[in-house]
Amino acid sequence: MTRAELTRVMARTAGGSRASADRALGAFVAAVRDSLRQGRPVTISGFGTFVVARRAPRRGRDPRDGSSITIPGARVPRFRPSRALRLSVR
């Protein structure tokens, strides 16, 4: 589902306009992004939790010359679905 499709469904379900649904979705994404930047998880009951995880450094290969390189570790966003969401998808 694309952002446009999601805002269309949100507008239809909530009985509002697509523009207001798009603003609401944009505000949600911004709030999650800002919270994760600060290292704080975002938990939505019945849906799941957005968290920041640490990816460890690892060895890799340079595709140009085949030499071994170290790929640095990084902070990456992760989503952990709630039990209710996992069961509803089965």
Give all domains of the chain, ordered by start, each with its CATH number. Answer: 3-89 (4.10.520.10)
Residues of the chain with confidence (pLDDT) below 70: none
Picking from 84, 77, 81, 76, the residue whose alpha carbon sits closest to that of residue 29 is: 77
Compute the distance between CA of residue 22 and CA of residue 2 in angstroms, rounded to an integer: 12
- Report the pLDDT value the prediction gives residue 20, as an integer from 0 to 100: 96
What the block records as the tokens of 50 is 């957005």
- Report the pLDDT value the prediction gives residue 36, as an integer from 0 to 100: 98
- Report the pLDDT value the prediction gives residue 54, as an integer from 0 to 100: 96
Q: Which residues contact 39 (CB under 8 A, 6 or more apart)?
A: 52
Q: What is the reported pTM?
A: 0.81
